[in-house]
Amino acid sequence: MEVCFYCKEIIQENSAFITDLFGENDCLKKYHVDCHQERTNIYKYNEKLNEVEVKNVTKKAKLVNIIYISLAIIFFIEIISIVIILVLKHS
């Protein structure tokens, strides 16, 4: 099994501790597998957080769009009413 650069760095810095945990023979392989399992779990967790964040942003964006559309409609109605009032005054 090829050991990634990240694992090699960690193993070199903490070789005695890791060897005590996993034994002499399985030290590199076991640590490497655990490292990638942990990073996979972190990746999946971050992916779920991103999905939730995207959903929240989408909800907020929809709400903002509704507010803008409502304001545009109100503004349009006010302009029409002002024009009607001006036309009726000058008639």
Burial classification of residue 5, based on how many CB atoms lie within 10 Å of its CB (0-12 exposed, 13-18 middle, 19 or more buried): exposed
- Position 6 pLDDT exceeds 80: no
Supply the pLDDT for residue 22.
Answer: 56
Say how far apart CA 40 and CA 53 lie, in whole Å: 20
Say how far apart CA 5 and CA 36 lie, in whole Å: 12
Over the chain, what is the mean pLDDT? Answer: 77
Give the pLDDT confidence of 72-91 residue by residue, as tens digits.
999 999 999 999 999 998 87
Going by C-alpha positions, the residue among 1, 33, 40 that lies closest to residue 18 is 33
Give the pLDDT confidence of 35-53 residue by residue, as tens digits.
667 767 777 878 888 888 8
